[in-house]
C-alpha cells in the first residue's frame, strides 16, 4: 500500500498501532523523491541519515514507548535551515559546499519529536523571490503543471508536500514565502506570529520579519507541526517567552459567532477573476456555517509592499555583509588584497536577485536617503500596526486571497522584478505587522492550478486561525 | 533619479563589482523599484515620533561561559585556513 498520500494525523495512527514502520514509510517517500526528480523540489536528500533515524524510532515503537504524533514521520526542511553535519546551501553558489556545524533550534525540536528529516528543499537564493527561479541550482516547477512556478521562496517545500515527497515541509516566511507557494501548490501554509518560532540556526534574510512555519496537507497537520516547532529559545533574542500552547486543542468544528473581516482596500486591482470567484465561494461557505462578516478599512495595506521592500532589503544588505568568503563560502585564491577578495567572492557567489536586494538595501540606508526611505518605512510600519490593532477590535480573523493570481508561467516575471514583487501584495502586510496567517487551498482554476485563501489573526491567535481554517478544510470537499 | 554614478557608488559600498551592461540594468531596475517605494512619501506619519523594533528586545542574558562551537567546528567551512585560524591576504 502507498502510505505517502495520507496526512500526518492518519499515518501517525498507523505508525503507533504498528501497521507500518517508519523505515517502510521513509523508503516509500525516498522512492517518491527518486521517481519525481523532475520536480527539483530538493537540493539534497539525506537517505542514510533518514533511514538511521527511522530505524531508531521503530526500535522505540517496538519497545512500546509512548511517542509524539510526529514520531517516525518523514518530512523535508527548507535549505536555509541548519542540520548539523549536512549541507545548508540556501540555493546559492556562495554556500554550495557549506556544511552546518550546528543544528537550528527548530531542527532539534523536530528531532526531539522523532520526526524523520529526509531532505532539504529548494528555494529562491537566500529566500529572496516568489518562484524559486532565483535558485542558483534549478527552478522547482508546479506539481500540477510543470510549465508553471511552484511559488517562492519556499517553493521546494510546497512542491514536496503536494507531490508526497514528505508529509510536511518547514519553510521560512519573510513576506509570504510559506503562504504564497503553499497557495500555488495547493497545500496549507502557516506563518506564525513573529517570535513564536525560534530563528536560531536559520540563515537570516530580514531578521525583523523572518519566521519559520510549516507546510502541510491539512490544517490539523499544521497544528501538529506547530506544536513541535514552538517554544522559548534563550539563544534567540526575539524569541517570545510565553507558555507553550497545545494547538491540537484548537478545533471546535464550528465558526458560529466568529467575526470575519474583509478589507475593502483589497480586491480591486490585479486580482484574477477566478481567484475572486473562489474567494466569494469561501465567504458563502463561512456564512452558511454561521460566521458573521464585517467590512473593514485598512488603508495602509496599500503601502505595505513598498514598506516591505525597503525594510527587508535594508536588513538583507546588512545580514549579507558577513558573506565575505573568508569564514565560509566559495572563495577565489588569486585576490590581490582583502578588498579584492571581498569583491570577487561576493560578485561570483551571489545571484542577480540577491545582488539587487543588497543594492536596494544599501541605497535606502546610504547617507542622505536613510530618513526618506528606511526611517519613513519604519514609521509607516507603525501606522499599519495601529490600523490592524484597531480593526481587530471588531473582528476575530481577516479573510483575503493568499496570492492575487494562481501560479504564473516559468519565465513570465523573471525579467520584471517589480511585477514579481507584486505577487506578495496580500501576504507582506502580515509580516510587517508581525501577525500570524494561514493559507488554505480552496480549489482550482480552469487550468487545473490551485487557488488558496488567507486568514490573518491577531498576534498569538494561531488557535483561532486553526479552528476557522479547519472548518473549511475538513468540511469542504472541493479542494481535495 | 538614480544615475550610473549612484549605482557605482552603491556597488562599492556593497562590495560588489559589475560590468557596464549590469550597471545599466541596475540603473533601470533600481529606478523602477524606487519609483514604486516613493509612494510612501505621500503617507502622513507626522504623529509617529520614534522608530523602534515592534517587539522590544528581552533582557540581556547573563554573561556566563557556556559550551560553544569548538575551534575545529568554527573553521571547518573556511576556504583557506592556517594554524587553526582563517587565512586572508595581507591586510597591514
Are B40 and A317 within 8 A, CB to CB? no
Instruction: Please write the tens of the pLDDT for every residue from A350-367.
Output: 999 999 999 999 999 998
Domain contains B61:
no
Instruction: Please write the tens of the pLDDT for every residue from A363-392.
Output: 999 988 888 999 999 999 999 999 999 999
Active-site residue, from A12, A22, A131, A177: A177
The torsion of the CA quartet A405, A411, A417, A420, rounded to 10 degrees, works out to 10
* Contacts (Cβ under 8 Å, ≥6 apart) of A326: A341, A345, B78, B79, B80, B86, B88
Instruction: Please write the tens of the pLDDT for every residue from A72-86.
Output: 999 999 999 999 999
Active-site residue, from A53, A78, A109, A413: A78
Cα separation, A127 vs A212, whole angstroms: 12
The pLDDT-based confidence of A204 (bands split at 50, 70, 90) is very high
Closest CA to B8 of B23, B21, B29: B23
Position B39 pLDDT exceeds 60: yes
The pLDDT-based confidence of A477 (bands split at 50, 70, 90) is low
Chain B residues close to A335, C-beta within 8 Å:
89
Q: Which residue has the cell 464585517?
A: A294
Position A447 pLDDT exceeds 70: yes
- Mean pLDDT, rounded, for B43-60: 79
Number of CB atoms found within 10 A of residue A67's CB: 18
Chain A residues close to B55, C-beta within 8 Å:
194-195, 238, 240, 434
For chain A, domain boundaries: 8-256+401-475
CA A225 from centre of chain: 13
Domain contains B46:
no
Residue A78 bears catalytic tag? yes
Min Cα–Cα distance to chain B from A120, Å: 19
Domain contains B15:
yes
Domain contains B67:
no
Closest Cβ opposite residue A362 in set B10, B33, B57:
B10
Amino acid A268: pLDDT = 64
Closest CA to A311 of A433, A456, A189: A433
Position A479 pLDDT exceeds 50: no
CATH number, span A8-256+401-475: 3.90.1300.10
Percent of chain A exceeding pLDDT 70 equals 99
Q: What are the grid coordinates assigned to A121, written together? A: 528543499
**Using an 8 Å Cβ cutoff, are A40 and A139 in contact?**
yes
**Using an 8 Å Cβ cutoff, are A280 and B13 in contact?**
no
Domain contains B20:
yes
Chain B residues close to A307, C-beta within 8 Å:
40
What is the SS3 assignment for A121? strand
Can you tell me the ipTM of this complex?
Answer: 0.94
Question: How high is the mean pLDDT of chain A?
Answer: 96
Are A241 and B17 within 8 A, CB to CB? no
The torsion of the CA quartet A221, A187, A143, A423, rounded to 10 degrees, works out to -140
CATH number of the structural domain spanning residue B23: 1.10.20
Q: What are the grid coordinates assigned to A349, written together? A: 557567489
Closest Cβ opposite residue A342 in set B15, B43, B58:
B15
Q: What are the grid coordinates assigned to A384, written together? A: 499599519
Preceding omega of A159 cis (within 30 degrees of 0): no
What is the SS3 assignment for A189? strand
Q: What are the grid coordinates assigned to A12, written together? A: 501517525
User: Domain span at residue B32?
Assistant: 4-38
Instruction: Please write the tens of the pLDDT for every residue from A276-327.
Output: 999 999 999 999 999 999 999 999 999 999 999 999 999 999 999 999 999 9
Q: What are the grid coordinates assigned to A476, written together? A: 469542504
Phi and psi torsions of A51, nearest 5°: -65, -35
* Number of domains into which chain B is organized: 1
Domain contains B73:
no
* Contacts (Cβ under 8 Å, ≥6 apart) of B37: A306, A309, A310, A364, A373, A377
Position A480 pLDDT exceeds 70: no
Q: Which residue has the cell 523571490?
A: A129
Residue A177 bears catalytic tag? yes
Percent of chain B exceeding pLDDT 90 equals 67
Are A379 and B53 within 8 A, CB to CB? no
What angle in degrees, to the nearest 10, is found between the helix axes of A22-35 and A8-16? 140
What is the chain B residue with the closest CA to A364? B34
Closest CA to A315 of A126, A459, A176: A126
Amino acid at each position: 500500500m502507498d502510505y505517502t498520500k495520507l496526512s500526518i494525523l492518519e499515518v501517525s495512527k498507523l505508525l503507533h498501532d504498528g501497521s507500518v514502520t517508519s523505515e517502510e514509510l521513509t523508503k516509500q517517500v525516498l522512492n517518491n523523491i527518486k521517481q519525481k526528480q523532475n520536480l527539483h523540489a530538493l537540493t539534497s536528500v539525506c537517505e542514510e541519515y533518514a533511514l538511521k533515524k527511522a530505524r531508531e524510532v521503530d526500535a522505540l515503537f517496538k519497545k512500546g514507548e509512548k511517542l509524539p504524533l510526529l514520531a517516525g514521520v518523514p518530512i523535508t526542511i527548507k535549505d536555509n535551515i541548519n542540520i548539523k553535519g549536512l549541507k545548508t546551501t540556501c540555493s546559492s553558489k556562495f554556500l554550495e559546499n557549506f556544511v552546518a556545524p550546528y543544528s537550528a533550534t527548530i531542527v532539534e525540536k523536530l528531532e526531539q519529536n522523532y520526526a524523520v528529516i529526509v531532505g532539504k528543499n529548494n528555494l529562491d537564493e537566500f529566500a529572496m523571490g516568489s518562484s524559486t527561479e532565483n535558485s542558483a541550482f534549478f527552478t522547482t516547477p508546479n506539481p500540477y503543471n510543470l510549465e508553471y512556478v511552484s511559488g517562492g521562496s519556499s517553493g521546494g517545500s510546497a512542491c514536496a508536500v503536494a507531490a508526497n515527497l514528505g508529509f510536511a515541509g518547514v519553510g521560512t516566511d519573510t513576506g509570504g514565502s510559506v503562504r504564497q507557494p503553499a497557495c500555488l501548490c495547493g497545500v496549507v501554509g502557516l506563518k506564525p506570529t513573529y517570535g513564536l518560532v525560534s530563528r536560531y540556526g536559520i540563515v537570516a534574510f530580514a531578521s525583523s520579519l523572518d519566521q519559520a512555519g510549516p507546510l502541510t496537507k491539512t490544517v490539523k497537520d499544521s497544528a501538529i507541526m506547530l506544536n513541535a516547532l514552538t517554544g522559548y529559545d534563550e539563544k534567540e533574542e526575539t524569541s517570545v517567552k510565553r507558555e507553550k500552547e497545545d494547538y491540537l486543542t484548537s478545533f471546535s468544528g464550528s465558526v458560529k459567532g466568529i467575526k470575519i473581516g474583509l478589507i475593502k482596500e483589497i480586491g480591486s486591482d490585479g486580482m484574477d477573476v477566478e481567484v475572486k470567484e473562489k474567494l466569494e465561494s469561501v465567504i458563502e461557505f463561512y456564512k452558511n456555517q454561521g460566521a458573521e462578516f464585517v467590512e473593514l478599512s485598512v488603508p495602509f495595506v496599500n503601502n505595505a509592499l513598498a514598506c516591505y521592500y525597503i525594510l527587508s532589503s535594508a536588513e538583507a544588505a546588512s545580514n549579507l555583509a558577513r558573506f565575505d568568503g573568508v569564514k565560509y563560502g566559495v572563495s577565489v585564491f588569486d585576490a590581490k588584497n582583502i578588498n579584492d577578495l571581498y569583491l570577487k567572492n561576493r560578485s561570483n557567489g551571489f545571484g542577480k536577485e540577491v545582488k539587487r536586494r543588497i543594492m536596494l538595501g544599501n541605497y535606502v540606508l546610504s547617507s542622505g536617503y536613510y530618513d526618506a526611505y528606511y526611517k519613513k518605512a519604519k514609521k509607516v510600519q507603525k501606522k499599519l500596526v495601529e490600523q490592524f490593532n484597531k480593526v481587530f477590535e471588531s473582528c476575530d480573523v481577516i479573510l483575503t486571497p493568499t496570492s492575487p493570481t494562481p501560479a504564473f508561467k516559468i519565465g513570465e516575471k523573471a525579467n520584471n522584478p517589480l511585477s514579481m514583487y507584486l505577487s506578495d501584495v496580500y501576504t507582506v502586510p502580515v509580516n510587517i505587522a508581525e501577525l500570524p496567517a494561514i493559507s488554505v487551498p480552496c480549489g482550482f482554476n480552469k487550468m487545473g492550478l490551485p487557488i488558496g485563501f488567507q486568514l490573518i489573526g491577531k498576534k498569538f491567535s494561531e488557535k483561532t486561525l486553526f479552528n476557522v481554517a479547519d472548518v473549511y478544510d475538513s468540511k469542504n470537499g472541493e479542494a481535495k | 533619479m538614480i544615475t550610473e554614478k549612484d549605482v557605482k557608488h552603491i556597488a562599492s559600498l556593497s562590495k560588489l563589482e559589475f560590468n557596464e551592461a549590469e550597471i545599466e540594468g541596475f540603473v533601470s531596475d533600481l529606478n523602477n523599484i524606487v519609483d514604486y517605494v516613493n509612494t510612501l512619501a505621500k503617507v502622513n506619519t507626522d504623529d509617529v515620533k520614534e522608530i523602534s523594533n515592534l517587539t522590544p528586545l528581552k533582557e540581556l542574558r547573563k554573561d556566563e561561559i557556556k559550551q560553544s562551537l569548538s575551534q575545529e567546528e568554527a573553521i571547518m567551512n573556511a576556504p583557506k585556513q592556517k594554524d587553526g585560524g582563517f587565512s586572508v591576504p595581507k591586510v597591514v
